[in-house]
Structure 1
């Protein structure tokens, strides 16, 4: 077996999501809960314009999911506690030597380092649930990892973060070589580019400790989109040069130096909880489109749409207001997971 994770820009069979359920992440008030349901639904409806959506739904939320989603998603009932599908769900891989075979990597999920507040034990089973539903081959991993902690170019390169895969709350005995060997086995990568850290807000109690999918992503092999905080009043203004330097010094699996394309942050610096981590990097590429994060900033949102349209030519960019997602610790990429099309044997 030679598993390989295709680039997000490769054709998709569908997108997977998990529907919210009541609890800490969704919010304490009716207004917060309503906003959460509406935002997850808005993302699903936007994705469904381009490709099918399958939504994992806790039985307690099935009626609400049917009412809000209508025919925009296929529902699959299963126990749910957390609903950041990118992280607790499977990472899909293909085997180029066996056309038509789909693999589902089952990382160990412990709620981003087993913090006291996290409710994750039900959703930790989702990779196995989805693999069984699809008839995919389960690729079991001993690594504690989340899908938001990796980005691949589909040609052998993976972006990682020291503070995620080497987090002692996740993998206390891991080192870079062990992580890279596991990425090679499960994702087919041969070159790892390690970023030193993530964005400042991501180190709060309800953060992920530095997920890469809010910082940098491959637009194409050899070309990276990078979050840019241009306001010196935000702590990420000092963080980003260190991350940029790591990318500028790296070479990918093909031996190329990376072209770096900036995605400037919106103008807002703070919300009620502190400095924001609002990032346009946390978009989802879909068949024929891009689902982009919006932040109620017409100038910055429009600028981001233009950059995304330029680096993903031929795709229609659709913006969905992501502020309610970021208030809960993530963005559009974090709540979605693409299932690639598997090649059919001739």
Structure 2
């Protein structure tokens, strides 16, 4: 039976996708250069902890080789979007077949096929990556993205109604059907449904409520929750709502789970509207945590301290994520871990 390991389990590598010119990267040279630099900075922050493989569109090969450390594996494949968490495979293992790696190939339609999105090339990347590493491809009929689910590695998955049941994604789905597919593909036995995500995520260019920006499992008995504490921001109400939903869900399951706040930075708005800056959108790597930074010394330090406590024994490294969030996501959104495969049952 397939099982998606916790992000804290040992990794073989982290997968990313290099930006390419287009709507997401930016409309002028300055914006484009900032985007390339942001993706590159995350890749280089991961390297001291584990290998990085980068999918690169043929039009960007020369730039990628120039900007990226030579130790980063480059896999050439056509791209139009480059949020690897969403376009790439969700890796799983089979505890009954030691040495077996699986790659779930969700259907990707650009977060609900909005008019602005270009996604038909990237819809094939999960299979490209899975075949590259010799994984068994697990085809799914569910429209889903890796950023729309979080697991504890022990059978529990966090989901949001507004993503999994989005009529632009899965018009005929209900919770029962989604849970059955999660059980088949990633081995979840319990689903905790949250009603929504952060406010910014419902804008024209949002994902409609990805869970990986609001909550994540640090361990099976600890959840990290985005906490907006300024009542002037609409996510203050969202944070309170989600805390209540998590508390009730774990109580119903009879589980004692600590819910730890990860306070949002103090910045409330950018030139578009209310920000969705979140420290929850970090990546756990071998021996480390790659954390989002927002140029706020005190808030970034507080987040590092909380993450250090939540992931004992790991070094927390902060990377400025403002250019990522300006394009619609964070560090977790642009990465995908490939778990190490147990060789002994």
TM-score (norm: length of structure 2): 0.99
Alpha-carbon separation, structure 2, partners of 1:253 and 1:241: 18
Pairing 1:225–2:228 present: no
1:15 and 2:3 matched: no
Who is 1:343 aligned against?
Answer: 342
Report how far residue 253 of structure 1 moved.
11
Structure 1 distance, partners of 2:239, 2:344, is 45
CA distance in 2, matches of 1:283, 1:253: 28
Could you say which residue in structure 2 is the equivalent of 1:90?
89
Q: Deviations over 1:238-293 (max 9, x none)?
A: 11111111100112998413210000000000001100000000000000000000
The residue that corresponds to 1:127 in the other structure is 126
Counterpart of 1:245 in 2: which secondary structure?
helix
Query: Where do 4+ consecutive residues of structure 1 move more than 2 Å?
Result: 251-255
Find out whether 1:259 has 2:226 as its counterpart: no
Q: Deviations over 1:173-206 (max 9, x none)?
A: 0000000000000010100000000000000011
- Alpha carbons 1:14, 1:51 under 8 Å: kept: yes
Structure 2 partner of 1:272: 271
Does the Cα contact within 8 Å between 1:17 and 1:337 map onto a contact in 2? yes
Residues 234-245 of structure 1 aligned to structure 2 (within 5 Å): 234-245=233-244
Alignment size in residue pairs:
345
Could you tell me whether the CA contact under 8 Å between 1:108 and 1:141 is conserved in 2? yes
Aligned to 2:30: 31
Please, which runs of 5 or more residues in structure 2 have no aligned partner? none
Alpha-carbon distance in 2 for matches of 1:254, 1:57: 43
1:119 is displaced (CA, Å) by 0.5
Post-superposition CA distance 1:223-243 (Å, at most 9, x none)? 100000010110101111111
Checking the alignment, whether the CA contact within 8 Å between 2:44 and 2:69 is kept in structure 1 is: no
Q: Distance in 1 between matches of 2:243 and 2:253?
A: 20
What is residue 66 of structure 2 aligned with on the other side? 67
Distance 2:254 2:46 in 1: 34
Distance 2:275 2:16 in 1: 24
| Contact 2:227 2:239 survives alignment (8 Å) | yes
**Does structure 1 retain, via aligned residues, the 8 Å contact 2:225–2:262?**
yes
